Amino acid sequence: MSDRPVRHPWSKNLPSGFAAPVLWDSIVIGSGMGGMTCAALLAALGQRVLVLEQHYVPGGFTHSFKRGKYHWDVGVHAVGEVTERSMPGRLLAGLTGRRLQWASLGPVYDAFAFPDGLQLGFPDNPQAFRALLHDTFPEGRQAVDAYFARVREVSAAMRSYYLARLAPPSAHVLTDMFTRTARRAFGETAQHALDRLSGDHRLKTVLAAQWAYHGATPSRASLAIQALVTKHFQWGGYYPVGGSSAIARELLQTVADAGGYTRISADVAQILLEKGTAVGVRMRDGEELRARRVISAAGVSSTVQRLLPREVADTRWAASVRALPPAPAHVCLYLGFKGDIRSAGAGAYNQWYYNTWDTEIDAWDISDPARLAEAPVLYCSFPSLKDPAYDPGPEQRHTGEVVTFVPWDRFSGWLGTRWKRRGDDYDQFKQSLQDSLLEQFFKKLPGLRPLVDHVELSTPLSTDTFVRPTQGSIYGILPTPERFANPYLRPRSKIAGLFFAGSEVATVGVIGAMMGGALAAAAVDPVGAARLLRSL
């Protein structure tokens, strides 16, 4: 392409000399993993696509930020199924021209510490994982085997399930015949399935211990989503070489190479409808952009609540989407270190610290900042150790992140205030959370205390400011049986010319959002998408 950007495939304004069409083939709202995948796939099929991102950095939860010499990702900590032994890995490789590379987190990708001293490192091999559980719970061997059988059953049913998402709800009689196994698993809670397999509370907690990767506790989570997390990491976890921002750079370059572009700081106010058909978008400054179709990757729930005209938002189908609860919000402690953090206990693998065997406690109780108890679970990640391209320099500068879930309602009173200018009461509350979380972290990894050089806490209000999910949820709609029974969470919306992309039309996480983007592109161009996917 003659107009290929020299440095980045995105900017606030289209580059000088860029021949922008009056009518784009497709406009994609949001540059998260779902939007970027959809845009790149449509670009690979010959479309000129305009991606609109309200933040000044593209990538959604795959973007990164820096403070001085420190860089952190905001949502990519471990990704499975990225090697070309899997279909998602082949698709991602194909859409990035194999420019995007991945590094393994090692033979153990997740390490768990439980309250009674039990420590388990989840290995990057399904046979080794099964053997680990057999050795740890010898009386639960049958239950472990039965759980892995359900995982295989769910995994095998997903191809038909995804294809059925491309059909309209009116075709349910036909699609139901091919998705019975998947629908049964999506309709059962993880807790119900685990209770049927075993009476050992500790074993059931270990099997469900990765629930934070999708955000729903076992009593609320669909069994299918828990099984898919297990399957997702059966061959380990990976991290993008060059950091999480490499994902956006390579996918959006594919869009630019086909004559498309990505505009940052491009705030969409409303999707334009004419005679019931989506024809473009109106920006916050009043500018109107036209396209043959619009794909919203901003989340189905967020689209319904923020981007559609009132007469559409009040329809029955839109109300059914609004009624679905979001997954929990989170806080993240961003840490900068100087020194050898490996010798102090850090590693490329993720470290989980449970203070309870009760997996139904889904959020830290922060109702009284003067008397904060410890968070029930900490998720710790050290991105600088995951990236083989990272150079810590002579000062050995490294980064860490500590994540836990919190109630959105505790922050909603400050909604609408400006970033870094939310008021003294907010700053004091945030400082209390930061101090408490930092002390809890040091109890787990005390050797890191003298190495800390930078501390910063992000709250759900930061998530709302920069990504805008409903109620600050990092995972979108809570993955309950009710969510997966909703007939309108599909890539083809009830409005002509409007499509949905992202995790809410598929499953959660980076790869779930990617599959939601692929489904949206397949709904736009079924023949072309099928031909491209067969070639991978």
Domain that holds residue 206: 125-230
One domain, residues 372 and 436: yes
C-beta of residue 192 within 8 angstroms of C-beta of residue 186: no
Note whether residue 500 is domain-resident: yes
Note whether residue 1 is domain-resident: no
Examine the fold and report which residue of 230, 250, 281 is the final residue of a domain before the chain moves on: 230
Taking only the tens place, the pLDDT of each residue in 31-50 is 999 999 999 999 999 999 99
Note whether residue 117 is domain-resident: no
One domain, residues 356 and 460: yes
Examine the fold and report which residue of 230, 255, 270 is the final residue of a domain before the chain moves on: 230
C-beta of residue 42 within 8 angstroms of C-beta of residue 523: no
The pLDDT score that the predictor gives to residue 14 is 79
Q: How far is CA 140 from the centre of its chain?
A: 32
Note whether residue 453 is domain-resident: yes
Residue 534 dihedral angles phi and psi, to the nearest 5°:
-65, -25
One domain, residues 345 and 427: yes
Examine the fold and report which residue of 198, 230, 262 is the final residue of a domain before the chain moves on: 230
C-beta of residue 249 within 8 angstroms of C-beta of residue 10: no
Integer Cα distance of 32 and 86 in angstroms: 22
One domain, residues 365 and 463: yes
Integer Cα distance of 399 and 440 in angstroms: 18
This prediction's pTM:
0.95
For the chain, how many structural domains are there in total? 3
Tokens of 230: 């297990």
One domain, residues 355 and 406: yes
The pLDDT score that the predictor gives to residue 173 is 62
Q: Residue 498 forms beta bridges with which residues?
A: 294
One domain, residues 139 and 31: no
Note whether residue 71 is domain-resident: no
Residue 40 dihedral angles phi and psi, to the nearest 5°:
-65, -40
One domain, residues 368 and 464: yes
Q: Residue 333 forms beta bridges with which residues?
A: 402, 457
One domain, residues 197 and 175: yes
235 Cβ partners below 8 Å, 6+ apart?
80, 81, 83, 85, 124, 125, 126
Of residues 402, 380, 382, 381, the one with CA closest to residue 390: 382
One domain, residues 351 and 415: yes
One domain, residues 200 and 142: yes
Residue 29 sits in a domain whose CATH number is 3.50.50.60
Per-residue pLDDT of the chain (536 residues; tens, 9 = 90+): 344 444 578 988 877 778 888 899 999 999 999 999 999 999 999 999 999 999 999 999 999 999 999 999 999 999 999 999 999 999 999 999 999 999 999 999 999 999 999 999 999 999 999 999 999 999 999 999 999 999 999 999 999 999 888 987 777 666 777 799 999 999 999 999 999 999 999 999 999 999 999 999 999 999 999 999 999 999 999 999 999 999 999 999 999 999 999 999 999 999 999 999 999 999 999 999 999 999 999 999 999 999 999 889 889 999 999 999 999 999 999 999 999 999 999 999 999 999 999 999 999 999 999 999 999 999 999 999 999 999 999 999 999 999 999 999 999 999 989 998 999 999 999 999 999 999 999 999 999 999 999 999 999 999 999 999 999 999 999 999 999 999 999 999 999 999 999 999 999 999 999 999 999 999 999 999 999 988 98
- Which run of H or of E encompasses 120? strand 119-123
One domain, residues 160 and 133: yes
The pLDDT score that the predictor gives to residue 19 is 82
Integer Cα distance of 524 and 272 in angstroms: 18
One domain, residues 216 and 164: yes
